[in-house]
Amino acid sequence: MTHPRDVLLGAQAQTGFLPVCDHYSGVEVRMRKSLQLQAEMTEEFGTCVFDVTLDCEDGAPVGGEAPHATLVASLAREAAPGARVAARVHPVDHPAFANDMATIAGEAGHRLCHIMLPKVESVDDVLLAEKALERAGAAHLPLQVLIESPAAVHRAFDIAAHPRVQSLSFGLMDFVSAHGGAIPASGMTSAGQFAHPLVVRAKLEIAAACHAHGKTPSHCVVTEFNDSAAMQAAAHRASAELGYTRMWSIHPAQIRPILAAFAPAQDEIDHAARIIAAAAAADWAPISVDGVLHDRASYRYFWQLLERAHQTGRSLPVAVQHWLAPVHS
């Protein structure tokens, strides 16, 4: 039987299906704990429900960038089979960038799911990173990029169009700071980032650019990491109101609230499974379910809902389980 992804997704299948949570850590003990937690939750949910991104940009001590890159490469190589491990390198104009790419992509590229590139201003930065990957013998690795300035937001559609780019993330703190005080500090809070028009506009531009080119929009951090209610509320708004399908975590306590906020409700999952199973039985021709007409446009929506349910570790009806084997890479 033809797989729903092959029938329904088209351009939106370009980048694969990313976990809804991207968890960042940069200190050795926390990087190791993050990888351990990922393995434990993969066992719990039956699929890898979050990426671990090992951080060089904020994690490396000043003057200690090279040893930190070596540590990140080593941790990536030692990660459990099936782990989804990424690395955030320094920006392309930083003196440590070339060594980051040579060391991490060169020594551990076969174990990485992607490289995160911060402070991308234009497609030229993507091209520089692409060449660095090729020099490191890691031409297969996708790039995820961090949009952190008004100019980068302006160029988001061009950046998202590049075939090596898999996802765009929004860098809230740098974006607010780049406005020279024109956006108040409240724009960096869990509530204020959904209220200030310039911040909301930037988020919408990034999400729209991603959806236009079949890429994944990844929402920014919530710095109040001890407030799980604020975390889940922000994650819900990012998903339900702004079109984001992935979100950053900066503390282990944020992972489960993100999963919960991005997960479909069980009744939605059951309804989607009924429609997709009936559609497949009809060879994807139009059908009627409960008196409502469905065709490939609605099938696509309901299939993506099932994918998101799988990514968030939700229980799936038997009728669709065979299409959604665990995804670890």
- Listed by start position, the domains of the chain span 21-262, 265-323
Query: pLDDT of 174-202, one tens digit each?
Result: 999 999 999 999 999 999 999 999 999 99
Q: What is the Cα–Cα distance from 7 to 14, expressed in whole angstroms?
A: 14
Q: What is the Cα–Cα distance from 273 to 306, expressed in whole angstroms?
A: 7
Q: Which residues contact 283 (CB under 8 A, 6 or more apart)?
A: none
Residue 275 near residue 238 (C-beta atoms within 8 A): no
Least confident of 27-31, 196-200, 316-320: 316-320
H or E element that contains 61: none
Residue 118 near residue 91 (C-beta atoms within 8 A): yes
Q: What is the pLDDT of residue 3?
A: 86
Residue 199 near residue 193 (C-beta atoms within 8 A): yes
Q: Tell me the average pLDDT of the chain.
A: 93
Residue 31 near residue 2 (C-beta atoms within 8 A): no
The structure tokens listed for 55 are 């951080």
Q: What is the pLDDT of residue 315?
A: 87
What would you measure as the largest C-alpha separation in the chain, in angstroms?
A: 66
Query: pLDDT of 234-254, one tens digit each?
Result: 999 999 999 999 999 999 999
- pLDDT(77) > 60: yes
Average pLDDT over residues 163-175: 97
Instruction: Provide the 8-state DSSP code for 114.
Output: E
Residue 114 near residue 92 (C-beta atoms within 8 A): no
- pLDDT(303) > 90: yes
Query: What percent of the chain stands above pLDDT 70?
Result: 96
Q: What is the Cα–Cα distance from 119 to 155, expressed in whole angstroms?
A: 13
Average pLDDT over residues 39-63: 95
Q: What is the pLDDT of residue 15?
A: 47
- pLDDT(266) > 80: yes
- pLDDT(16) > 80: no
Instruction: Provide the 8-state DSSP code for 105.
Output: I
Bridge partners for 25 per DSSP: 54
The structure tokens listed for 297 are 């446009």
- pLDDT(298) > 50: yes
Q: What is the Cα–Cα distance from 272 to 262, expressed in whole angstroms?
A: 16
The backbone torsions φ and ψ at residue 51, rounded to the nearest 5 degrees and listed phi first, read: -85, 150
Residue with tokens 């694969």: 16
Instruction: Provide the 8-state DSSP code for 24.
Output: E
| Confidence category of residue 325, pLDDT binned at 50, 70, 90 | low
Residue 167 near residue 144 (C-beta atoms within 8 A): yes
Residue with tokens 């169009």: 161
- pLDDT(153) > 50: yes
At 78, is the secondary structure helix, strand, or coil? helix
Q: 21-262 sits in which CATH class?
A: alpha beta
Cβ neighbours, 10 Å, residue 173: 14
| Confidence category of residue 11, pLDDT binned at 50, 70, 90 | very low
Q: What is the pLDDT of residue 232?
A: 87
The two beta strands, 292-294 and 287-289, are: antiparallel
Pairwise pLDDT comparison (2 vs 136), residue with the higher score: 136
Average pLDDT over residues 144-172: 97
| Confidence category of residue 1, pLDDT binned at 50, 70, 90 | low
One-letter identity of residue 51? D
